């Protein structure tokens, strides 16, 4: 038998210690890491710009503003200056602020504006025409955020986006495919050829130069709010409305204001979370889902097993039913947030769930309480060396909004009006049902599923998370949170894990290939669940802070999403 020398034994034991130390520091499946800062966005160019701002000494909020404008250039399918969104930010002092820069209905909007002569919803009117455009909120939101939190000069955070628009950037393979798919539609809906139309088909690596957009961004740089909501750009928007039959006026633009709101917050296991309040439904829904699931030991169920899928889906059915009935713009309707999220109510909803049998959606109703989103959204998560963090979700609604480019301005208009209930009880672009609380009204903000979220543990930053995906946003964030907290995944593992989704109506569990194995599908079907394999669900971009202070970026492999840290 071979005899080991004492030196070999010592070296072997030291190797075990070193390997154990490394394993604790860098778990298997870990994403991009950094100690000083982390930026995770939907596009490598936006992530590059965000990291550049952090390295210049900017805080997470400076980087977030720079990323928002960068996405308007390099990710035109969802990044925008003529859309809107929601910001959740946590300062190094532990204070959380949430900003609502959601679009609003124009003053000329009316409750039945998308109904035909027969009183039914006119197909495409709320999503494929300029009538679908709400009054944009992004620019005002970024100005307010920078005024409150910015540490670098305004010019320095917007200039990288201007340079990229003027000099161009190389499009990705996925972007080439996407742009080629909408060439005909863009030409049909615009009277001039915008920068997004190529003389031949787009190819990976082609340079996309947007001179009109660069000029618009320079006006915003130089004149701030008046560079968009007044002056030349505002006139371009109104001229486009007149040409294409839209409703937005100079007065609509002048009156728009983003709003600071109190966050939705709550506890799950030993963690505290902060998310967005209405008119986003995301925070309320996430709090309900986590509250219902807290009644069971999710970790022991296992990831995407028959048991865990069943309980999660049954909770989702009930939460989306509540969403349809109660949620809307708090300026227009009384929203019983406290009652929808109180523990007794959530325990009652949990008690409705049968262990071995699905509840058909037509038997699931909104909870009885006593009263007193495209898949082409985008999300970014940012954290800096001081402990500041931003979780932000922004959108045009459908991919490239209504696909009408403001002539002279160089940017797409949104189609967010589709997020209203065109006719209470009728589904929108994503099949979501809404009732009177989300009916159209002048200057009202449409309901959203956006769920930008920040989670802390022991009063320290733990996770920054969010996703695009229309109606699947809430469930994508929900699953990602459970993946980390209950299933012990790294951030990258949690983001990459296969997903499923249920939104009450239609009564179908949509699931990604390999999300649920064949045997589990058969078992769930026997329990009364209805399943349908679908394409990609969500594109989560998130950051996890490990106990030693290392930041791990989780960039969703479903897109061009990129994490960059240092």
Find out whether 268 and 290 touch, Cβ atoms under 8 Å: yes
Is 122:116 a contact under the CB 8 Å cutoff?
yes
pLDDT in tens, 251-265: 999 999 999 999 999
CA distance readout (Å), 30 to 24, 224, 308, 331: 11, 40, 24, 43
The sign of the CA dihedral 104, 110, 115, 119 is: positive
DSSP assignment string, 68-83: HHHHHHH-TTT--SSS
What is the average per-residue pLDDT within 383-389?
A: 98
- What's residue 113's pLDDT? 96
d(CA 386, CA 21): 26
Q: Model confidence over 95-154: pLDDT tens digits? A: 999 999 999 999 999 999 999 999 999 989 999 999 999 999 999 999 999 999 999 999
Position 181 scores a pLDDT of 97
Residues assigned a catalytic role:
377
Question: Is residue 422 very low, low, confident or very high in pLDDT (cuts 50, 70, 90)?
Answer: confident
Let me know if residue 393 belongs to a domain. Answer: no
Q: Is residue 57 part of a domain?
A: no
Domain for residue 204, yes or no?
Answer: no
Question: Residue 356 falls within a domain, yes or no?
Answer: yes
User: Exposure string (b/e) for 198-212, b if CB count within 10 Å is 16 or more?
Assistant: beeebeeebebebeb
Dihedral angle sign, alpha carbons of residues 98, 102, 106, 112: negative
Domain range holding 346? 262-375+453-549
Q: What percent of the chain has pLDDT over 70?
A: 92
**In this predicted model, what pLDDT tens digit does every residue of 322-365 receive, in sequence order?**
998 899 999 999 999 999 999 999 999 999 999 999 999 988 88
CA separation for the pair 213, 222 (Å, rounded): 14
- 217 part of a folded domain: no
| pLDDT in the model for residue 289 | 98
Number of domains in the chain: 1
Residue 287 lies inside a defined structural domain of this protein: yes
Q: What is the DSSP string of 335-359?
A: --HHHHHSHHHHHHHHHT--SS-PP
* DSSP H helices in 182-248: 183-189, 211-223, 231-244
In this prediction, residue 28 carries a pLDDT of 74
Q: Report the SS3 class of residue 440.
A: coil
- Beta-sheet strands, E only, within 83-193: 84-90, 96-100, 169-170
Q: How far apart are CA 49 and CA 564, in angstroms?
A: 10
Asked whether residue 329 is domain-assigned, the answer is yes
Summary mean pLDDT of the chain: 93
Residue 354's CB is within 10 A of a number of other CB atoms, namely: 12
Determine, yes or no, domain membership for 554: no
How many DSSP H helices and E strands does the chain contain? 18, 19
Q: Listing from the earlier edge strand, what are the strands of the sheet with 389-395? A: 259-261, 96-100, 84-90, 389-395, 377-384, 37-41, 562-565
Higher pLDDT, 99 or 376: 99
pLDDT of 368 reads: 59
Instruction: Provide the 3-class DSSP secondary structure of residue 58.
Output: coil
* Domain containing residue 333: CATH number: 1.10.246.130
Distance separating alpha carbons of residues 566 and 564, to the nearest angstrom: 7
Measured between its terminal Cα atoms, the distance across the chain in Å is 50
Rounded average pLDDT over 158-176: 98
The 10s digit of each residue's pLDDT in 176-211 is 999 999 999 999 999 999 999 999 999 999 999 999
Predicted TM-score (pTM) above 0.85: yes
Q: Output phi, psi for 438, to 5 deg.
A: -115, 25
Q: Pick from 29, 138, 105: which is nearest to 394 by CA?
A: 138
Residues 6 or more apart whose Cβ sits within 8 Å of residue 67: 39, 41, 46, 47, 49, 50, 380, 382
């Amino acid at each position: 038998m071979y005899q080991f020398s004492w030196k070999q034994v010592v070296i072997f034991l030291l190797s075990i210690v070193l390997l154990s130390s490394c394993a604790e520091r860098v778990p298997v499946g870990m994403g991009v890491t950094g100690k000083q800062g982390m930026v995770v966005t939907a596009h490598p160019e936006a992530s590059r710009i965000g990291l550049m701002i952090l390295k210049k000494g900017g805080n997470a909020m400076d980087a977030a503003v720079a990323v928002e404008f960068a996405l308007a250039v390099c990710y035109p399918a969802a990044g925008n200056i003529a859309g809107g969104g929601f910001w959740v930010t946590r300062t190094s002092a532990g204070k959380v602020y949430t900003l609502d820069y959601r679009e609003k209905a124009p003053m000329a909007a009316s409750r039945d504006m998308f109904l035909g002569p027969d009183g039914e919803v006119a197909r495409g009117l709320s999503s494929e025409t300029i009538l679908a455009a709400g009054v944009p909120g992004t620019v005002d939101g970024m100005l307010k955020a920078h005024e409150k939190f910015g540490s670098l000069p305004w010019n320095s955070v917007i200039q990288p986006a201007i340079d990229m628009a003027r000099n161009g950037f190389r499009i990705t393979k996925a972007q080439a495919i996407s742009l080629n798919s909408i060439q005909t539609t863009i030409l049909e809906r615009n009277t001039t050829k915008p920068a997004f139309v190529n003389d031949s088909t787009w190819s990976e690596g082609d340079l996309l130069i947007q001179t009109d957009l660069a000029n618009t961004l320079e006006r915003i740089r130089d004149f701030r709010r008046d560079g968009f909501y007044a002056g030349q750009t505002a006139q371009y928007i109104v001229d486009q409305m007149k040409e294409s039959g839209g409703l937005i006026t100079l007065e609509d633009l002048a009156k728009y204001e983003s709003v600071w709101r109190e966050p939705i917050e709550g506890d799950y296991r030993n963690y505290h979370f902060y998310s967005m309040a209405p008119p986003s439904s995301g925070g309320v829904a996430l709090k309900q889902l986590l509250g219902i699931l807290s009644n069971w030991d999710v970790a022991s169920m296992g990831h995407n097993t028959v048991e865990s899928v069943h309980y999660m889906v049954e909770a989702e059915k009930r939460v989306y039913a509540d969403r349809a009935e109660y949620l809307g713009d708090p300026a227009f309707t009384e929203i019983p947030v406290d009652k929808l999220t109180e523990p007794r109510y959530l325990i009652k909803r949990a008690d409705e769930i049968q262990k071995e049998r699905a509840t058909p959606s037509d038997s699931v109703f909104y909870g009885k309480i006593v009263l007193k989103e495209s898949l082409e959204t985008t999300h970014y998560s940012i954290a800096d060396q001081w402990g500041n963090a931003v979780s932000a979700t922004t959108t045009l609604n459908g991919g490239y909004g209504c696909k009408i480019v403001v002539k002279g301005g160089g940017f797409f208009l949104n189609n967010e009006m589709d997020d209203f209930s065109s006719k209470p009880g009728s589904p929108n672009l994503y099949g979501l049902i809404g009732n009177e609380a989300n009916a159209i009204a002048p200057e009202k903000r449409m309901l959203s599923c956006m769920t930008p979220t920040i989670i802390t543990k022991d009063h320290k930053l733990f996770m920054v998370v969010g996703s695009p995906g229309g109606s699947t946003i809430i469930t994508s964030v929900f699953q990602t949170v459970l993946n980390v907290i209950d299933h012990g995944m790294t951030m990258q593992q949690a983001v990459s894990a296969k997903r499923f989704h249920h939104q009450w109506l239609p009564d179908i569990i949509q699931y990604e290939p390999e999300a649920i194995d064949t045997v589990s599908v058969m078992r769930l079907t026997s329990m009364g669940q209805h399943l349908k394999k679908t394409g990609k669900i969500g594109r989560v971009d998130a950051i996890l802070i490990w106990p030693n202070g290392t930041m791990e970026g989780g960039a969703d492999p479903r897109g061009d999403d990129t994490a960059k840290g240092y």
